[in-house]
Amino acid sequence: MLDRPHPTPATPSADPFALAKALSGLHFIGGAYVPARSGKTFAVVNPATGIEVARAAEGDAADVDAAVTNAAKAQKEWAKMPARKRGALVHQCAALLQEHVDELGRLIALETGKALRTESRVEANVVADVFEFFGGLGSELKGESVPFAPNVLSVTVREPLGVVGAIIPWNVPMLLMALKVAPALVAGNAVVVKSAEEAPLAVLRICEIMNRVLPPDVFNMVSGFGPECGAPLVAHPLVKKVTFTGSVETGKIIYRAAAEKLIPVTLELGGKSPMIVFADCDFDKTVSGALTSMRFTRQGQSCTAASRIYVERPIFDRFVTAMKDAVNGMVMGDPLDEKTDIGTIISQGQFDKVKGFIAEGAATAGATAHVCSRMPEDPALKKGLFLQPVIFTGLTRESRLVQEEIFGPVTVIQPFDDPEAVLAEANDSDYGLAASLWTNNLKVGLDLAHRLEAGLVQINQNLVVQANLSYGGVKQSGLGKEASLEAMLEHFTHKKTIMVNMR
Ligand code: ADP
Ligand code: MG
């Protein structure tokens, strides 16, 4: 292991507030924490209290250039290392990350407001898992031999792309960083990450942990705003691939910028994922499945949130009642408290946006807003961005709440009578990320699974992204796959053909 000085504690720290302060005002470039060249910073706020907990470096094109230039130099050596050895180093990162799960969980809970027990610590664990998975795939960077002619040996080899620019959002920043960084590195690329302005700290903490194992410069991170820091990363001539998770609107801006340079992109964008419940389902399992599908513990801030739930009419009323009861049993409170199930919305802007959707739904004729759970009573949290989950009934497909991604704790339950009709409604969406079907009739389930327009369809479960299973949407939900061997091969390497005439 490399031993380099670093300003943050190398041993797990139970105090996320101290850690947030220690990480203030820094990028991670060239194997070290460095301030923004401009000296500018912006506030990182704990959404549970409204109090500033750290400053983030406000990166611009000069910082991006330093990070990319360093990465490009380091990438050449990194690519020469045997692939399996690169994988072994990424595997070592996994072990170190596992030791820091609690620390990383607390830090991400502090900056995002996601509850430690139900979300934040879980995310930290999955990060270690993703590094472990990709760390084992070095030997899979294989090519093929191709039949051409008896006297000509034709083979393909996989080569890295160069410097990868990775732009991530705030909802699961550590996980989304890991899904991009781990495969890119194993494939022999160097990476520059642009963190999300709302949640730059936990991912910044990970840099030091990775740096204990990896060569300096192969992994860099800048923080800052989209147009000032993200756009120069996409535009930089030495960046040969961009992988992005975020909004459809920003995804299209990035796609256009990448087109100017003719570089490949992977885009993981929004979703409006349907959950279809048949009367013959295992009722209790399906109700608890709906809570996880809707990601209520993440305040619904998930691209795959089951924000459209279709329930077969005979069990509709019973299902709505059971779901309300279940969500009422969830505890909203301090994200750092182990008892808390539901934390806060990330930012005032998102809070207002989600409230706008709720007000519009509540004002719709015939609609009922079932407001669930209870606001926390702790006076220290009175300025927190807590928002009670809302289950809507009585809305129809024309409603903006059924068509648009809300990215908040709001779901719409609608009854259905006929499988063909519900399939048509489920597919009547600009998005196509994920879907789930709940039935004991596998004939019906499999038939619909084949005809749903989505990148991921699950029957009788609705798990979040899993290592080894390709994840990525169709339609406005994006381009390309993540999380799998296929994702590493297709999106972080290119195939070169080599032919040898042996006569
Ligand atoms: P939201 O603002 O709704 O959270 P975005 O898709 O705008 O979602 O943001 C996701 C990530 O993309 C963030 O890291 C953000 O800074 C970055 N970003 C925003 N605008 C641009 C842009 N024009 N070019 C590159 N990155 C951007
Ligand atoms: Mg934005």
My answer on whether 182 and 301 are in the same domain is no
Q: Write down the pLDDT at residue 91.
A: 98
Tens digit of each residue's pLDDT (9 = 90 or more) over 193-226: 999 999 999 999 999 999 999 999 999 999 999 9
Residue nearest to atom 14 of ligand 1 (CA): 196
Give the separation between CA 93 and CA 70, rounded to whole angstroms.
21
Average pLDDT, the chain: 96
Same domain for 120 and 232? yes
CA distance 411 to 456: 19
Domain shared by 401 and 418, yes or no:
yes
Ligand nearest to the CA of 167: 1
Identity (one letter) of the amino acid at 161? L
pLDDT for position 14: 74
Report if residue 8 sits inside a domain: no
Cβ 253 under 6 angstroms from ligand 1: yes
7 belongs to a structural domain: no
Show which residues are catalytic: 268, 303
State the average pLDDT over residues 464-490: 97
Which tens digit of pLDDT belongs to each residue from 155-182? 999 999 999 999 999 999 999 999 999 9
Read off the pLDDT of residues 132-155 as tens digits, 9 standing for 90 and up: 999 999 999 999 999 999 999 999
Query: Are 240 and 293 in the same domain?
Result: no
- What sign has the CA pseudo-torsion 127, 95, 120, 63? negative
308, 411 Cβ separation under 8 angstroms: yes
Segment holding 97, helix H or strand E: helix 83-99
Q: What is the pLDDT of residue 26?
A: 98
**229 CA → ligand 1 middle, Å:** 10
Say if residue 401 is in the same domain as residue 483.
no
* C-alpha 319 – ligand 1 centre gap (Å): 37
Ligand 1 and 226: CB distance under 6 A: yes
Domain-embedded: residue 447: yes
Which has the closest alpha carbon to 22: 131, 98, 90, 103? 103
385-433 pLDDT, tens digit each: 999 999 999 999 999 999 999 999 999 999 999 999 999 999 999 999 9
* Closest residue CA from atom 17 of ligand 1: 226
7 lines ligand 1 (CB under 6 A): no
227 has pLDDT over 60: yes
Residue 441 lies in a domain: yes
CATH number of the domain where residue 460 is located: 3.40.309.10
pLDDT for residue 107: 98
Give the percent of the chain with pLDDT over 70. Answer: 97
Q: Write the pLDDT tens digit of every residue in 242-255.
A: 999 999 999 999 99
Same domain, yes or no, for 284 and 218? no
**Which range marks the domain in which residue 31 is found?**
16-270+477-497
Contact 383, 50 (CB under 8 A): yes
Instruction: Evaluate whether residue 5 is within a structural domain.
Output: no
Examine the domain organization and report whether 227 and 355 are in the same domain.
no
Q: Is the CB of 250 under 6 A from ligand 1?
A: yes
Q: How far is the CA of 176 from the centre of ligand 1 (A)?
A: 14
Residues 266 and 317 in one domain: no
- Check: CB of residue 431 under 8 Å from CB of residue 476: yes
Domain count, the chain: 2
Q: Is the same domain home to 63 and 82?
A: yes
Q: Decide if 412 contacts 395 (C-beta within 8 A).
A: yes
pLDDT at 263 over 60: yes
Residue-wise pLDDT tens digits, 1-20: 334 444 454 455 679 999 99
